[in-house]
Amino acid sequence: MGATIGASLCRQRGMSYWSWLLVVAVFGFILTCVSKMGPAYIDARYVDEGLKALAENPGLRDMSRGDIKKELDRFFLINNVRGEPTKAVKIIRGADSMLVSVDYELRQPLIYNIDVIMKFDKQLNTAKPELCCEPLVDLEQFRKRD
């Protein structure tokens, strides 16, 4: 019995140096990805919340474009959203509804010469406020006119 315990302890040596190196490298890569891309997804969540708060505003249809932009800018300022999301706000008025769109993409350098491109498309259509933040309208037709 003593010989089998000693023999099994010899075989249980644990992970090798190369195995530990691989684990550390994978963990480091994941940590790098989260630290580089995480802030963009946090900002996108605040853009969602800002559009939902705007949808709950009872006087939204009576607000001017400048008032809507000020309301969103105030929300973004409070929640520390800066950069591309604040510049990408577009307001399109229709006959019976309004579309508030925040459509942007971010290019984030990841490692050396490798970049990650993240695309965010959030929309609030006052005709369907319950579907807030899902892109319902293709804005390409409006971009061609600009």
The domain ranges of the chain are 15-145
Q: Which tokens belong to 13?
A: 């040596």
For the stretch 56-78, pLDDT in tens is 888 888 888 889 999 999 999 99
3-state class (DSSP) for residue 48: helix
Average pLDDT in the 30-42 region?
94
Token readout for 107 is 């290019």
pTM: 0.77
Q: DSSP of 68-92, one letter per residue?
A: HHHHHHHHHHHTT--SHHHH-EEEE
Cα 30 to Cα 6, 34, 42, 67, 113, distances in angstroms: 39, 6, 17, 41, 17
Q: What are phi and psi of 129, to 5 degrees?
A: -65, -20
- In terms of DSSP H, where are the helices of 2-55? 2-11, 17-55
Query: Amino acid identity, residue 88?
Result: A
Per-residue pLDDT tens digits for 7-20: 666 666 778 888 89
